[in-house]
């Protein structure tokens, strides 16, 4: 992700989540050591996905991950998730964590298809609507 991608990423974030991160949050993270911010671009459409990954010591967290609603169910999520797992391995993470809304069966199914395991539940983690998060992990 480059600074010129931030506004488009923030717009995709707002399309994808009920409590979106701000453009300022993405800009701040661009400067933060240990953060990996990636975009997925399509030749004609430009940025159609983004991911935020951070790795501390031997732990990684996929903190934010989305594909534009208009580009879902086309294999972009699987392609991009494959790349993010590879980046975590390159950063020498031994385990990768993420949280996902308990009702987001499509995303949870994608993560499970990559070997992520449900390891916990964070009660009332999300707002708008209030909902639990599934905590998932992948051994790398």
Active centre residues (catalytic): 99, 111
Domain span including residue 45: 3-139
- pLDDT at residue number 63: 95
Q: How many CB atoms lie within 10 A of CB 50?
A: 26
Q: What is the CATH number of the domain that holds 7?
A: 3.40.630.30
* Neighbouring-strand partners of residue 100: 134
117 burial via Cβ count (<10 Å: 0-12, 13-18, 19+): exposed
- pLDDT at residue number 16: 93
- pLDDT at residue number 37: 96
SS (H, E, C) the chain: CCHHHHHHHHHHHHHHCCCCCCHHHHHHHHCCCCEEEEEEEECCCEEEEEEEEEEECCEEEEEEEEECHHHCCCCHHHHHHHHHHHHHHHCCCCEEEEEEECCCHHHHHHHHHCCCEEEEEEEEEECCCCEEEEEEEEEC
> Mean pLDDT per 10-residue run, the chain (140 residues)?
96 94 96 92 93 94 94 92 96 96 95 98 94 97
**What's this model's pTM, rounded to 2 decimal places?**
0.90
The alpha carbon of 129 is separated from its chain's Cα centroid by a whole number of angstroms, namely 20
- pLDDT at residue number 33: 86
Q: How many domains does the chain have?
A: 1
């Amino acid at each position: 992700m480059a600074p010129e991608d931030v506004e488009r990423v923030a717009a995709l974030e707002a399309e994808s989540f009920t409590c979106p991160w701000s453009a300022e949050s993405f800009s701040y993270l661009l400067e933060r050591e240990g953060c990996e911010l990636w975009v997925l671009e399509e030749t004609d459409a430009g940025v159609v996905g983004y991911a935020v990954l951070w790795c501390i010591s031997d732990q990684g967290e996929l903190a934010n991950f989305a594909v534009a609603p208009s580009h879902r169910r086309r294999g972009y999520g699987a392609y991009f998730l494959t790349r993010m797992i590879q980046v975590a391995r390159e950063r020498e993470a031994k385990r990768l964590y993420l949280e996902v809304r308990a009702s987001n069966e499509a995303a949870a199914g994608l993560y499970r298809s990559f070997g992520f395991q449900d390891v916990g539940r964070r009660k009332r983690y999300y707002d708008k609507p209030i909902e639990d998060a599934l905590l998932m992990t992948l051994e790398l």
